[in-house]
Structure 1
């Protein structure tokens, strides 16, 4: 079981928290961000855009648009969909999609660890 430290311990529900929300933009478009990464993780877990969207309280149309937008920003697609048929269709992450999620989460973890002391100091300045 992982060790719980002050930096990793869950905060009380209404306690102030400092969080990173990494976004990579291309012009005015958020090419990579927390919502798209969460959607990729849900697709990887469920094998379905529909089920992934439902698990995130998102419409299928919104999920499809986010994935289409993401794929258009990448050199290679992050997801691969197969049409339904006798055995049904499905969606899976490509190696690029898997690498994207892994790299994004690694950057988040590295940034959180590197700034944990400063983040706690920042939160202590809040009136709560």
Structure 2
């Protein structure tokens, strides 16, 4: 599922996975490595997400002796929770159609 804000994909599977990876790794660079993407790509996705929301999904700290980091805000946690809940409900509600579509794939 993707939610658009004009031409921008404001919320989608890649951005939600990035938020989950930031929660796991505590930094954008760690999240990017964990997802196999460049830091620049992760930063751009995160910037796009944060600019699309009324409040930012993440809070970054500048590097220092311990090297800074990034955490999810309450909004970020809510984005992940709502998105994954919608996915789960859609999977349950559309299981028959998903199975039929899957049956059309090459084996």
Hey, what does 1:32 align to over in structure 2? 11
Q: Deviations over 1:93-124 (max 9, x none)?
A: 00000000010000000000000012212333
Q: Which 4+ runs in 1 deviate beyond 2 A? A: 121-128
The reply to whether residue 95 of structure 1 matches residue 69 of structure 2 is no
Distance 1:127 1:47 in 2: 39
Q: Which has the higher helix share?
A: 2
Hey, what does 1:113 align to over in structure 2? 92
TM-score of the pair, normalised by structure 2: 0.93
Unaligned 5+ residue runs, structure 1? 1-21
Unaligned 5+ residue runs, structure 2? none
Hey, what does 2:27 align to over in structure 1? 48
**Helix, strand or coil at the partner of 1:85:** coil
Number of equivalenced pairs: 107
Distance 2:78 2:8 in 1: 21
